Amino acid sequence: MKIHPLPRIFFSVSKCIVLPALSVFFLVSSCNVTKTKTGQTSEISGPVSTGESSVDSNNVISNQIYKQYHTVEIDFEGPETSEDAEDNPFLNYRLDVVFTSGETTYNIRGFYAADGNASETSADKGNIWRVRFTPDLLGDWTYSAKLYRKNNIAVQGDILEADKVQILNNKGAFKVTESDREGVDFRAKGRLVASQGYYKFQNTDMYWLKVGANSPENLLGYVDFDDTYRMASSSKEGEASTTDEIHSYPTHLKDWKVGDPIWKDGKGKSLIGALNYLASTGMNSVYFLTMNILGDGKDVWPYAKPDEFTRFDVSKLEQWEIVFKHMQSKGILLHVVLQETENETMLDNGDTGLLRKLYLNELIARFGHHLALNWNLGEENGPADWSPLGQNDVQRKAMAKYIKETDPYNHPVLLHTHSHDPLRSDILDSIVGYKYVDGLSLQQDERKETAEVIERWRTNAKEAGHEWLITMDEIGKWFQGAVLDSEDPTHESLRKYVLWGTLLSGGAGVEWYFGAKHPHNDLNSEDWRQRDRLWQISNHARVFFEENLPYWRMQPEHNLINIKEAYCFRAEGEVYALFLPEVKAATIDLSGESGEFELFWFDPLNGGELQKGSVDTVTGGAVQALGNPPAVVGEAHNDWVCLLKKI
């Protein structure tokens, strides 16, 4: 039997039908649209029912129909309590729900949901306990739920001495049919996992390449979320300056569309609009912190109070969930960054004890059901001169292990690095090959070294027996990053050394960090349009890779090209992708090949279709000249991408 570990994964119900004489609520609709209070429509992921739910003589709920990869959300009536109850509902209760289909079993842990509609009511009390589950298999499913009560039971593995709290109708059944989604919506293809150094849709042959926004890191420091504010403004060397104002994203209000989600009679529109805009550019990933207490922004935390680490803000977290669901429907991966270098030791002094386990449990439970998500162990993880109280090797390994063993969906776990060696390598040398870390969220200060660093750590990981997925997520220098289009219209160094250097060296993706000392920086950016050109350039690279390359089977061989700072990525005997910073007298060594290759050119700045140049084909067995590309149509530049395909 295939058993998946007990995690914290739950399902939220925004609209529910109370079945007569039952203590269970179900999100039921005859279609995938529900009405908000303002009359706007918003997409939900709930079940589709062809008729009324039925309850048999054993109080088993049945006749529910869900779509594959859509979230199943079930609410149970349990004891009446509150966020600040003396008997802590987050720590002293544990809802376990077992979902079974054939020989596949998922053990999912539920969470306290106040009144079941806290995103709208801001309730901090109630008797609703919720579970979320995303089924991957078609066919019949059953579930069985149990609620336990014992001091600290939420972070203890032993339930034998716990009291069982009665919840009626704790068993049910439902059917899963094929997903009705298409395009970038992750419900069309399923869950992303780490495989052979890349993101891959689980149980398919489809791979996925990441391009997106690394800033603002405090994305969730947003005025429309309940109880969200800046604890203190700051203006320190080494970080972006802040004021008392938090994010409102006013310029993106126009990007919200009728039918998009909102909460509380119109809140959330500007953030939803910002995500709409980013998705429209082809970007598919956003990096954000879920806790920056003691960190740079000091405006994001999941707790009811920022100095009480065992009580969570139910309504705020439900509002986060509304945003996360929308991101998934727009094809945006949730890059969840769990802590900052300044607060690595805030919980349990860096250990994975009661407080850290509880924090991780709640996030996994409430948000782990999402299909495209990776857990980042923390920004700049490990001690540094400016933050000497970082986690040590034993502590970061314990944290990674706990996440992998608690998350039932096997989401990738990444480690965000320092920006240079030996500070970076001292940490990575001790964790490379560790099976509970799936890869690196790389920070790199010197742009020209990007390709070499990625290739080196991919090789080190492979030699250590556990391949790493490496994404280039924070390019330096820390004060600069990716500046505005108005400051750097063609983003030449980012395009050459970082974007194409990463992807043609085996990197699994790129995110753009905005730096600390430029307008619209890593903490105060309100308008993603300020870097519209950068998103376009990034999307050109993503489209080229997806349409032309089996990149997950390719290897970097930069020395095959005669030009300095050129890159070569190849699947031997099949295809070569070359980045040439200039094309004059460019050659490639094909002495190890046989047969003919057709030659195409791609414009990395202006994008477009593949084009023909002065040479149509080259033949293996010798060093071959690549000829000249076509004339540039659009903004002038010297760099080109050359594609060789075996005929």
Find all residues with CB under 8 Å of 254, minimum gap 6, and list them.
273
> Once rounded to an integer, what is the mean pLDDT over residues 207-215?
98
pLDDT tens-digit profile of 335-381?
Answer: 999 999 999 999 999 999 999 999 999 999 999 999 999 999 999 99
pLDDT tens-digit profile of 605-639?
Answer: 999 999 999 999 999 999 999 999 999 999 999 99
Banded model confidence at residue 8, pLDDT cuts 50, 70, 90? very low
Find all residues with CB under 8 Å of 520, minimum gap 6, and list them.
484, 514, 526, 527, 530, 531
Percent of the chain past pLDDT 90, that is, above it, reads: 86
pLDDT tens-digit profile of 154-165?
Answer: 999 889 999 999
Q: For residue 22, is pLDDT > 60?
A: no
Banded model confidence at residue 26, pLDDT cuts 50, 70, 90? very low
**CA-CA-CA-CA torsion sign (599, 603, 609, 613):** negative
Lowest mean pLDDT among 36-40, 417-421, 461-465: 36-40
644: left (phi over 0), alpha (psi -120 to 50) or beta: beta
Q: What distance in Å separates the CA atoms of residue 567 and residue 573, rounded to the nearest whole number? A: 18
Q: What is the pLDDT of residue 242?
A: 82
Q: What distance in Å separates the CA atoms of residue 343 and residue 300, rounded to the nearest whole number? A: 12
3-state secondary structure of 531: helix
Percent of the chain past pLDDT 70, that is, above it, reads: 90
Q: What distance in Å separates the CA atoms of residue 319 and residue 121, rounded to the nearest whole number? A: 11
Boundaries of every domain in the chain: 2-180, 192-552, 554-646
| Neighbour count for residue 488 (Cβ, 10 Å) | 18
> Once rounded to an integer, what is the mean pLDDT over residues 186-193?
98
Q: Which of 605, 610, 613 is nearest to 630 (CA)?
A: 613
Q: What is the pLDDT of residue 628?
A: 96
Query: Which option is the CATH number for 2-180: 2.60.40.10, 2.60.200.20, 3.30.43.10, 2.70.50.60?
Result: 2.60.40.10
Q: For residue 53, is pLDDT > 90?
A: no
Banded model confidence at residue 58, pLDDT cuts 50, 70, 90? low
Lowest mean pLDDT among 12-16, 197-201, 267-271, 448-452: 12-16
Q: For residue 1, is pLDDT > 90?
A: no
> Once rounded to an integer, what is the mean pLDDT over residues 314-329?
98
What one-character DSSP code corresponds to residue 626?
-
Average per-residue pLDDT in the chain?
91
> Once rounded to an integer, what is the mean pLDDT over residues 128-139?
98
Widest distance between CA atoms in the chain: 81
Specify the higher pLDDT residue, 8 or 220.
220
Prediction pTM value:
0.92
Banded model confidence at residue 11, pLDDT cuts 50, 70, 90? very low
Q: What is the pLDDT of residue 3?
A: 40
What one-character DSSP code corresponds to residue 417?
P
Superfamily of domain 192-552: Glycosidases (3.20.20.80)
